[in-house]
Amino acid sequence: MKKGKIWIVGAGPGAADLLTIKALRSIQSANVILYDALITTEVRSLFPKKAILIDVGKRSGDGKNPISRQEYIHDQMLMYSLLGNQVVRLKSGDPMVYGRGVEEIRYLLKTNLEFELIPGISAAMAASNEFLIPLTERGKSSGIHFHSAIKMGGEKNNLNQIIKEIENDDTVVIYMGFEQLNEMASELNRRLSKETNINVVSKASYITSQVVSGNTRFFSTIDINELPESPAVIILGNHTQIPDSEKNHANKSYSISKRIRNLIKQPFLNLF
């Protein structure tokens, strides 16, 4: 019997062309794919037609016991790999960023199954690059902190650590915080020493992706129905404003022409 193997694969934020080459190769060679709820139709279209497809998506409020659900995933990986299959456990984003990847890795190490981990682009990185939101900037912000709005057991994040990080001029990224946005923004607006910029990016890398930007005061009063759909990632901090191209437009022609004049003076151009 052919030896089975398991790949724990990050599918990225949604767009198929943001898959890594290694992730795509693992998908194309899979006999069995266990995929999450947020795997897009675009990525699913790449699944081999003969592969066994198992939807193991976790949906908030679906009433299923999270422990039993995770054990089911473990059992499926074990069973299909022992039968000699090439198994892909496909996760949205990156497996090690709120993807429970480490839980599955511990299980695979314990059972001595052969596996490989393939990273994916996390939602924060996709959102930052798509909408030009700086996560760090020289001389302004040098730290990035990732948080979940909901802690283990369903407890809400008390924001104390987040406030310290923002006051330190670091950038904060909040996953799974869409439903708590009003409440979080109100508390931040009340407790921070100054109004802070917030960007809410919906469906990063999707065709329907959107961004809404404002400060803590704005988001403390906005109607949740005015915001784009989830899944969404929240990027906030004192230096997370999207660059304003209109303000820079007036200086653009002068800057470029000056740079060109300086380049003409460079010795290397005499070679042409």
Concatenating the DSSP letter of every residue in 154-203 gives SPBP--HHHHHHHHTT-EEEEES-GGGHHHHHHHHHHHSSS--EEEEEES
Residue 165 included in any domain: yes
Do 83 and 140 sit in the same domain of this protein?
no
The four Cα atoms 178, 184, 185, 190 give a dihedral, to 10 degrees, of 180
Quote the pLDDT of residue 249.
Answer: 47
Give the mean pLDDT of the chain: 89
Contact assessment for residue 181 and residue 209, using Cβ atoms and an 8 Å cutoff = no
Whether 131 is covered by a domain: the verdict is: yes
Question: With bands split at pLDDT 50, 70 and 90, how would you rate the model's confidence at 244?
Answer: confident
How far is the CA of 244 from the CAs of 133, 139, 140, in angstroms? 11, 19, 17
The residue range of the domain holding 230 is 124-237
Same domain flag for 150 and 97: no
Query: How many structural domains comprise the chain?
Result: 2
We report the CATH number of the domain holding residue 26 as 3.40.1010.10
Q: Which residue has the higher pLDDT, 247 or 138?
A: 138
The pTM (predicted TM-score) of the whole model is 0.85
What is the percent of the chain with per-residue pLDDT over 90, rounded to a whole number?
A: 73
CA nearest 108: which of 74, 85, 80, 76?
A: 74
State the catalytic residues: 36, 58
Tens digits of residue pLDDT in 46-79: 999 999 999 998 765 566 787 888 999 999 999 9
User: Domain containing 172 — which CATH number?
Assistant: 3.30.950.10
Whether residue 137 sits in one domain with residue 107:
no
| Distance, C-alpha 154 to centroid of its chain | 21
Residue pLDDT, tens place only, 9-27: 999 999 999 999 999 999 9
In a domain, 256, yes or no: no
Do 53 and 112 lie in a common domain? yes
Which one of 93, 121, 149 terminates a domain? 121
Least trusted range by pLDDT, from 94-98, 175-179, 211-215: 175-179
pLDDT in tens, 189-233: 999 999 999 999 999 999 999 999 999 999 999 888 888 888 999
Find the mean pLDDT for residues 92-105: 94
Read off the pLDDT band of 154 (50, 70, 90).
low
What pLDDT, on a 0 to 100 scale, did the predictor assign at position 54? 97
Q: What percent of the chain has pLDDT over 70?
A: 86
Output Rg (C-alpha) for the chain, integer angstroms: 23
- In a domain, residue 250? The reply is no
